[in-house]
């Protein structure tokens, strides 16, 4: 059995946890998500104030996997509301059920979707204060380039979604991926960077913990929107 399969069963959101999950609201069912889905027209424009019950600065993490970074970030930054998008269903449902089972209001909402298909529709221009892209691509070979998360189009989407002085934070242990992301973001004149940041500035991710135990070098940098 592979490591991913042994991670846990694909338990869809339990009814009492459904408020954590945005799939029903955006796609009409918690059984619809992943690749090739776009939000239904009735869900747009997205009313984040209603979803979170307040109007607070928003952050987005793409590819949260086990969700350890997102949960710690939500505790460290309680005055922000945090959205996590994950393409793999089992990880999305795991986080939905983990947050929901804590039986206290959370400032995290979870979407099972391909971020590349949905971000531009669900986040209005200049609506995000921070975005996090951490160890994004397990497929780092040149022949997998078409699967990469951050290409020039996605970089343009990031610029559009960020507020002025908003930041996109990147972590990776793969030099080629870091360089590609950096090249795409540097090509956007509205962004200033790359600016290095320290390990303690943000919570550790699951992958980052593994890299640290193996003494792998980690590239950490952010870009800030200047206009
Ligand atoms: C290498 S893992 C790293 C996970 C986590 N950020 C960490 O540092 O531990 C990359 C994650 O991004 C997710 N992912 C990749 N492409 C995605 C996309 N287009 N939209 C949403 N999630 C994506 C994968 O399913 C996987 O969970």
In a domain, 172, yes or no: yes
pLDDT score of 3 more than 50? no
Q: Which atom of ligand 1 is nearest to the CA of 116?
A: 19
Confidence of residue 6 (pLDDT cuts 50, 70, 90): very low
**How confident is the model over 117-173, as pLDDT tens digits?**
999 999 999 999 999 999 997 665 666 666 678 999 999 999 999 999 999 999 999
CATH number, domain with residue 171 = 3.40.50.150
With a 6 Å cutoff on the Cβ, whether 220 touches ligand 1 is: no
In a domain, 96, yes or no: no
In a domain, 71, yes or no: no
In a domain, 74, yes or no: no
With a 6 Å cutoff on the Cβ, whether 135 touches ligand 1 is: yes
In a domain, 145, yes or no: yes
In a domain, 15, yes or no: no
Active-site residue set: 137
Domain count of the chain? 1
> What's the 85 CA to ligand 1 centre distance in angstroms?
9
With a 6 Å cutoff on the Cβ, whether 127 touches ligand 1 is: no
Whole domain around residue 196: which residue ranges? Answer: 125-227
pTM of the model: 0.94
Task: For 130-188, give the DSSP string.
Answer: EEEEES--S--SGGGGGG-S--HHHHHHHHHHEEEEEEEEEEES-HHHHHHHHHHHHT-
In a domain, 24, yes or no: no
In a domain, 189, yes or no: yes
**How confident is the model over 23-75, as pLDDT tens digits?**
999 999 999 999 989 999 999 999 999 999 999 999 999 999 999 999 999 99
Quote the pLDDT of residue 142: 63
CA distance 106 to 99: 7
């Amino acid at each position: 059995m592979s490591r991913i399969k042994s991670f846990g069963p694909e338990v869809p959101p339990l009814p009492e946890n459904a408020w954590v999950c945005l799939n029903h609201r955006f796609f009409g069912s918690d059984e619809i998500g992943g690749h090739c889905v776009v939000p239904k027209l009735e869900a747009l424009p997205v009313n984040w104030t209603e979803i979170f019950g307040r109007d607070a600065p928003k952050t987005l993490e793409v590819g949260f996997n086990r969700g350890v970074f997102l949960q710690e970030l939500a505790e460290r930054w309680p005055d922000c509301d945090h959205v996590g998008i994950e393409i793999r269903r089992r990880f999305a449902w795991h986080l939905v059920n983990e947050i929901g089972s804590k039986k206290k209001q959370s400032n995290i909402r979870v979407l099972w979707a391909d971020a590349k298909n949905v971000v531009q529709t669900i986040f209005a221009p200049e609506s995000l204060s921070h975005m996090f892209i951490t160890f994004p691509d397990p497929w780092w070979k040149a022949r997998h380039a078409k699967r990469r998360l951050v290409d020039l189009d996605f970089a343009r989407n990031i610029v559009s979604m960020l507020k002025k002085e908003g930041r996109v934070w990147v972590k990776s242990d793969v030099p080629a991926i870091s360089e590609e992301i950096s090249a795409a973001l540097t090509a956007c004149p509205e962004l200033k960077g790359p600016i290095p940041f320290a390990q303690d500035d943000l919570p550790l991710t699951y992958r980052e913990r593994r890299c640290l135990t193996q003494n792998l070098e980690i590239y950490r940098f952010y870009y800030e929107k200047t206009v």
